[in-house]
Amino acid sequence: MRSLLSALPLLFVTTLAQAEPTEWTFDPSHSEIGFKVAHLVVSSVSGRFKEIQSSHIVVDDQDPSKDQIAIEIKVDSISTDEAKRDEHLKGPDFFDSKKFPTLKFASTKVVKAGKGYKVTGTLTIRDVSKTVTLDATLSQPIKNPWGKQVRGATLTGKIKRADFGLKWNKALEAGGVVVGEDVSLQIQAELTR
């Protein structure tokens, strides 16, 4: 009984430590910032941004309202596995990476939603900032073979590209346009600390 009583303060301190907000590092080598958009009405093109310029992620497992997500992505790291298309996307018709070298997202609100979360924040593309809400999931942390804590996060959502000044398009003879208006976002992140 005495040993149980002496262990209670340690248990209390451990529980408090788990309740505190913790900072996590975005692991770019095990993460992907992806997107998908309709192409020629009949198919779609997928792509990703390969380089995260900076990130700040804070998670409070007891109180999601204290969570923080801020990320900057290097536009020139875009890849659709087609060099000519990638150069077009970097140019003035789309992202204009020379004038606007980064994409930014900063959360403003995180709330629990079923088994996951709703993450609302400001997305900035071509210096146009709009509020977007993404669906998110977050795994429980595990320890990797190198002794670090690791957890996975997924965020998904849709935006209208014209809202951010990405308006280039061409009409098709059969009807419709070359590039769809809606862009699906899918971010799969591995976080470490």
CB neighbours (10 Å) of residue 35?
A: 19
CB 147 within 8 A of CB 191: no
Which pLDDT value is given to residue 66? 94
Domains and CATH numbers, the chain: 21-192 (2.40.128.110)
User: Above pLDDT 90, what percent of the chain?
Assistant: 68
- Confidence label for 122 from pLDDT (cuts 50, 70 and 90): very high
Model pLDDT for residues 37-46, shown as the tens digit of each residue: 887 666 688 9
pTM: 0.84
Rounded CA separation 139/81 (Å): 30
The overall average pLDDT reported for the chain is 87
Residue 192 CA to residue 33 CA, distance in Å, equals 17
According to DSSP, the residues that pair with 154 across neighbouring strands are 137, 188
Angle at alpha carbon of residue 135, lines to 129 and 141, rounded to 5°? 115
User: Cα-Cα-Cα-Cα dihedral of 112, 71, 161, 139, to 10°?
Assistant: -40
